Amino acid sequence: MNTRAIGRRNFLSAAGLGLAAAGAAACAPANAKGGGKRTVATYLPSSYGDLYPGIEMFNKAAAERSGGRLALDLYDSGSLLGAEQLLPGLLSGVADVIFQTSSYVSSTYPVLGAMELPFVTEDYGKLRRAIEPGQPQFDLVNENLARKGVRILGGMPTTFEYLWTVDKPIRRPEDVRGLRLRVAGEIEGETVKALGGAPVTMGSAEVYQALEKNTIDGLVSYIGTVVSRDLQKIVKYGTAGHFGAYTVDAYCRSDWYEQQHPAVRRALDAAGKTLYHEGTAHMVKVHTEEYLPKVKAAGVELVEPEGAGMEAFRKAIAPVHADWKRRLGARTAAQALESIRNA
């Protein structure tokens, strides 16, 4: 059976997620230690010209570095697993490697939230350096994920998330009060609530229509989603600041990783480094040279609060940090934040 026939709707309509996952796993390509193609899944479509090439770089590097032992079969655009099903699908064996944004899974793995917290640092370079494979933040994440059977191979830290709106600019926290803003994860949602707004969770493919129909007033997003979904055609304002961020990561099961031939493990690790180094470099270049000019050319006004104005936002979102620290634990949270600030 061709796994491309297993759409998200059929996947969910089976007799429960567990049964569906078992059925899909049985139909997936062979992935035993000795050979066969490995299944790779993501909800991201190729229209994400900033992120998608990084996924392709990972797959190419993994195949090349494995000496022919590793062949990867990519199912993108949610064709095998939708955004919310990627992690359950990985744990159930439907996919061997998934590419997922941390905002979708940080409620399950709070350690990932350190990279998502607003105003942890206003230096993107620190955020970018912190998650480099082999650095303290990366190792801390894997130490925590291992307890739940998951391993991160590498990731791309996105540029900062801004607040994007249609009808009015956001210049101070009070301007968010009462606004319905689309979010992609728990920490983004808590940030919106701390500013007095109402978070609305939906997939990025739904956002354009929701803005058009006034179902939402705006969104919290990095610039890649704005351009990849053509939202610059409808939003009118963007408030620049570190209102959030996330990573787009390659994950596998830790037990699956350990079962692989040493050459395959080395290839996966090398591919993770390629994703981080080359994938992130490509993403930043696209944001700087293509996406930002495109947003400005569309007439979107970028608001840049400074001084006391930005300090008001920092003060307003302080409860978000406190809640995250309670969920993760004070000691681990302190380690995570220190590794970012010292990067």
CATH architecture of 162-244+289-341: 3-Layer(aba) Sandwich (3.40)
Tell me the one-letter amino acid at 172.
R
Give the model confidence (pLDDT) of 232-255 as tens digits.
999 999 999 999 999 999 999 999
Give the model confidence (pLDDT) of 268-280 as tens digits.
999 999 999 999 9
Percent of the chain's residues with pLDDT above 90: 88
For residue 203, the model assigns a pLDDT of: 87
| Of 183, 207, 50, the residue nearest 106 (C-alpha) | 183
| Of 258, 183, 189, 261, the residue nearest 225 (C-alpha) | 183
Query: Quick check: 2 pLDDT over 50?
Result: no
| Of 150, 154, 151, the residue nearest 55 (C-alpha) | 154
Query: Quick check: 18 pLDDT over 80?
Result: no
Query: Quick check: 25 pLDDT over 60?
Result: no
Q: Which helix (H) or strand (E) holds 303?
A: strand 301-303
Residue 163 phi, psi (nearest 5):
-100, 120
d(C-alpha 115, C-alpha 249), whole Å: 12
Considering the chain, what is the average pLDDT of its residues? 90
For residue 110, the model assigns a pLDDT of: 97
pTM above 0.75, yes or no: yes
CATH architecture of 3-104+133-157+248-286: 3-Layer(aba) Sandwich (3.40)
pLDDT band at 36 (very low <50, low <70, confident <90, very high): low
Average pLDDT over residues 308-319: 96
Give the model confidence (pLDDT) of 175-213 as tens digits.
999 999 999 999 999 999 999 999 999 989 899 999 999
CATH 3.40.190.170 positions along the chain are 3-104+133-157+248-286, 162-244+289-341
| C-alpha count within 13 angstroms, C-beta hemisphere, residue 252 | 21
Cα first-last separation, the chain: 47
